[in-house]
Amino acid sequence: MNHFTYKNGSLHAEGLPVAAIALDVGTPLYIYSHATLERHFLAFDRAFSRVPHMTCYSCKANTNVSLLRLMARLGGGADIVSGGELAASLRASIPPERIVYSGVGKTEEEIAFAVGTGIAMINIESAGELRLVAAVGRSLGKRVPVSVRVNPEIDARTHPYITTGLRKNKFGVLWAEARGLYEEIRSEEYLVPVGISSHIGSQITEIPPFVEAIRSLKGMISELAASGIALKYVDIGGGLGITYKDELPPAPEEYARAIEAELEGTGLVLVLEPGRVIVGNSGIFVTKLLYVKETPEKTFYVVDGAMNDLVRPSLYGAYHEILPVTEESGGARPVDVVGPICESGDFLARDRYIVPLQPGAFLAFLGSGAYGFAMSSNYNSRVRAAEVLVKGDEYFVIRERETLEDLMRGERIPGFLEV
């Protein structure tokens, strides 16, 4: 569900016409709905109200500080994977004790930042990382709460680029190694074992893989408890999917009841890391049609948005529903929606049936709130898009469009090249 609907033939974001925002702010443009974000977060969080839990929003889905501030105001925490995401979370007033740090490549500087801040726990992903975290804790004189991210070897049946729970993936460690890491944690003066973690993938639309992962973790938790290592948290990650085309993901309530049934009687605090399911359908990407290009084989709609703005279609072959911002009549025909970037892979849709449109028309790509702006780049020296948050009948620019000066900020011409 979202708050992007047609009213009198014009696509609206809550109470505002999308076309009016696009004309004011320019395109390409990301527009987010406050009401959708709030509803999705609360629907997910409240579904777990019967069990002790922390809903730690997965920042990598969309790190705009205004959206993080909304999560904080709703009682959410943060799942972070970098020092930049930690800084953004703190700026958004997310309490450190509700922040969990994941990721396979944490640097010494990032670890020290996290330890000094006093976050809830660091999810350890390798023996080398464990020893570095211990060294940082020792140098700062602070005991560090840690968890081990275990790879449960479960096929989440999702796109191969976003599966994370298989033996061949770079994430986590297998249980045989994890068991030894917990013993090492117990022996380290500056490490405290507080949890166990897993994450099996993204855009998962079935419950059984999650249940299988939890059952695997429960066996590990029991084995640790028998050896005298009692944990507080069980972090089951995120990954619950959304509808882009014809997917039928489970409702948060259905998902929560299955998880709750598995954890009954354990006394553990559940850590959840939802990202896409919160922010995915809360955002649209708006772009303007520049040219209609006819060739003997294809019709191309050349728009001012590109793969640098929304990379999912060219990277994953991902599908985003496309709506004309103004409803048009006429028979739909197959077109390729492409951008200005000098790559054959620069497409936003292929062979998509869209009604005939004229240059100047706006197109909206639904489901773009997650991994849209967050994965954007400056390829071809293109400035990144603006971001807008709509609340009722008002909109707020929450990220200004970059300028050409922004593109070159930090670049320096050495003296021998000066004119």
Q: Residue 82 and residue 161: Cα distance in Å, rounded?
A: 20
Task: Spell out the alpha helix ranges (H) of 7-101.
Answer: 18-25, 34-47, 65-73, 83-91
Q: In the block, which residue shows the tokens 């020893």?
A: 131
Total Cβ atoms within 10 A of residue 244: 18
Exposed, middle or buried by CB within 10 Å (0-12, 13-18, 19+), for 410?
Answer: exposed
Q: Residue 66 and residue 370: Cα distance in Å, rounded?
A: 15
Beta strands in 116-199 (DSSP E): 121-124, 144-149, 191-197
Residue closest to 402 by CA, chosen among 322, 315, 308, 313: 308
Tallying the residues shown for the chain, one arrives at 419
Three-state DSSP class for residue 335: strand
What value, to the nearest 5°, has the Cα angle with vertex 295 and ends 290 and 297?
125
**Checking phi first, is residue 265 left (phi over 0); if not, alpha (psi -120 to 50) or beta?**
left
Q: Active site includes 342?
A: yes
Q: HSE of 178 in the Cβ direction (CA atoms, 13 Å)?
A: 27
- Active-site pick, 248, 342, 404, 413: 342
Q: Which two tokens stand for residue 264?
A: 């009954």
Q: Which two tokens stand for residue 201?
A: 């993938």
Q: In the block, which residue shows the tokens 């060294």?
A: 135
Active-site residue set: 342
